[in-house]
Structure 1
Amino acid sequence: MAADERAQYFRRLRRLRRSARRWSVTAGGLGGAAAILTPYAGLGLPDAAWAGAAGSALVLAAWRWVDLRAHAARPAPPPLDPAEAAARSRARLVAAVERLPAGPGVLAEVRRARSRMALRGTAAAEPWARLDRAALTLAGMAGRLTGLADPAVLEAAAADRSLRDLAERVASVERAMRLAPSPARESLAGTHAVLVGQLHDGVSAYERLVVAAAGYVAEDARPGAGNPAASRLTEATDLLHGVASALAELRAVGDPHQAPSH
């Protein structure tokens, strides 16, 4: 907001200065024309028009100069902190991109690429990439996972957020290990190993969930023999049992926030 107020202040200052100069030049030109064109024998109607226009322009020029001095006498708003200004610029750019038809997809891909770069060189990089591939696969099937499969989609979204948070924690602990002295590093190594194991188990369970969801989509589209309704319901029930098993394994990984510490 401070940056906008500062920009508005200087924009108004420039407009007033240009207006004052423009009306001053206009008043001078009309005044000179009136002085030259007014005959010595007296004023006619055209001459009165010239004089009136010159007088009006002179008054407007005076008003503009008064407004300019009054505005210039006010202190300008303080400049915005460079970091805050950059953050505001990024926010405006993101908002503009989001309004484009393909904007949300582009921003999501940029965020994924930035996250991959942040985790490069850590133990979380490989499971993060697997999670990305599985999440994109599931997103492509989301429109067909309706009805009985709705709970699986909701569970998958919650698991995705939890696993990404766990991956960031793994990377943070790993970076801290590189800076810690030897006694503390041993303690962190145990915690890091537990977190890495949870991350791999969670990603594997997520992948199995995606496979089960793909099977549900495939079976849901295949025509059944005999009674189509009964056949499809039976197949859907079997597949949902598989989805439930995958979800149970995913929950068994545990809440990453309850990981043991040493």
Structure 2
Amino acid sequence: MATARTKHLKRLRRLHRSARGWSVRAGLLTGATAVLVPYSGLGLPDAFWAAGAGGSIAIAIWRWIDYRAFRQLPVPEEPDPMLAGALAREKLVGLVQRLPAGKTALAEFDRQRESFRLRGLTVAEPWKRLDRASAMLSGLVGRLGPTAEAAVLDAAVAERSLRDLAQRTASVERAMGLGPAGESLRPAHAALAAQLEQGVTAYEQFVTAAAGCVAEDSATLGNLSDATAFLHGVAEGLADLRSTPNARPQPA
């Protein structure tokens, strides 16, 4: 991707080449006019030579004026590599999103990247389970009907809260590896991990009940209501936990 500095220098070189080129043309035409007019006398063709020479001189002068004026402008600074990389990524993401199934591909890429970052931590397995359940629910949403819209909304809120909780748990677990001082975080980590496990289990129960409704099993209609109520309660508890970041989590 061309930066502002690159574009500025490229235009400066282009103006310089143009000025030099017209200077050469003006010199050739002026020299030809100076030789041919005395040699063959002044006639109609010589008027064209003289006009061409004069026009070339005028254009050359304008090009040199443009070049010198542009050269006085400040040259843009080199952009920060991190900022340039972020801008390039935004453009690439925008391009991919306009392609068919581009958003789905980007979402899958983000999930895989996040799973890789959590590899080796205790939250990696709950995160994978949440990914699987979320993907399954995405395929069921269009078949649940309008009566399940509120339940699906509760599930979306719960999923966001669970992902936030997983990230917090992962941060605490990474901090535990800092040495003896990190051992004091072990009780908090255990409480967060237990909360995450409970939430992911509730989310999976909700998705299972939703799948049963799609299968038109009347026995699962009540299960979906129960799972929704349970999931709603879990989501509220996670929201309270997120709104009080300084409070010590209590084990479930």
**Aligned partners of 2:3 and 2:79 also within 8 Å:** no
Matched, 1:206 2:198: no
- Which residue of 2 is the match for residue 216 of structure 1? 213
- Which residue of 1 is the match for residue 160 of structure 2? 161
User: Normalising by the residue count of structure 2, what TM-score does the alignment of the two structures yield?
Assistant: 0.88
Q: CA deviation at 1:11?
A: 3.1
Within 1, Cα distance between the matches of 2:150 and 2:226? 13
- Which residue of 1 is the match for residue 52 of structure 2? 53
Alignment of 1:1-262 (within 5 A): 4-38=3-37, 40-182=39-181, 185=183, 187-219=184-216, 235=218, 239-253=220-234, 254-255=237-238, 256-257=241-242, 258=244, 260-261=248-249
**Aligned partners of 2:144 and 2:210 also within 8 Å:** yes
Within 2, Cα distance between the matches of 1:181 and 1:21? 72
Structure 2 letter corresponding to 1:245: D
**Aligned partners of 1:37 and 1:47 also within 8 Å:** yes
**Aligned partners of 2:29 and 2:52 also within 8 Å:** yes
Within 2, Cα distance between the matches of 1:191 and 1:66? 71
Within 2, Cα distance between the matches of 1:216 and 1:261? 35
Within 2, Cα distance between the matches of 1:53 and 1:85? 47
User: Normalising by the residue count of structure 1, what TM-score does the alignment of the two structures yield?
Assistant: 0.84
Within 2, Cα distance between the matches of 1:188 and 1:198? 15
Bigger Cα displacement from structure 2, 18-27 vs 61-70: 18-27
Bigger Cα displacement from structure 2, 140-149 vs 162-171: 140-149
- Flag the 1:36–1:240 CA change in 2: closer, same or farther, 3 A: farther
Within 1, Cα distance between the matches of 2:151 and 2:32? 85
Unaligned runs of at least 5 residues, structure 2: none
**Aligned partners of 2:155 and 2:231 also within 8 Å:** no
Within 2, Cα distance between the matches of 1:178 and 1:91? 34
Bigger Cα displacement from structure 2, 108-117 vs 84-93: 84-93
Within 1, Cα distance between the matches of 2:151 and 2:233? 16
Structure 1 letter corresponding to 2:200: V
Q: CA deviation at 1:145?
A: 2.5
**Aligned partners of 1:177 and 1:188 also within 8 Å:** yes
Structure 2 letter corresponding to 1:248: A
- Flag the 1:260–1:240 CA change in 2: closer, same or farther, 3 A: farther
Question: Identity percentage over the alignment?
Answer: 54
**Aligned partners of 1:145 and 1:153 also within 8 Å:** no
Bigger Cα displacement from structure 2, 66-75 vs 112-121: 66-75
Bigger Cα displacement from structure 2, 211-220 vs 108-117: 211-220
Provide the aligned C-alpha RMSD in A: 2.1
Q: CA deviation at 1:171?
A: 0.6
**Aligned partners of 2:96 and 2:103 also within 8 Å:** yes
Q: CA deviation at 1:143?
A: 1.8
Offset from partner CA, 1:213-253 (integer Å, 9 cap, x none): 11112218xxxxxxxxxxxxxx4xx6443222112222343
Within 2, Cα distance between the matches of 1:84 and 1:176? 28
Aligned residues: 242
Bigger Cα displacement from structure 2, 92-101 vs 159-168: 92-101
Matched residue of 2:109: which SS? helix
Q: CA deviation at 1:74?
A: 2.0
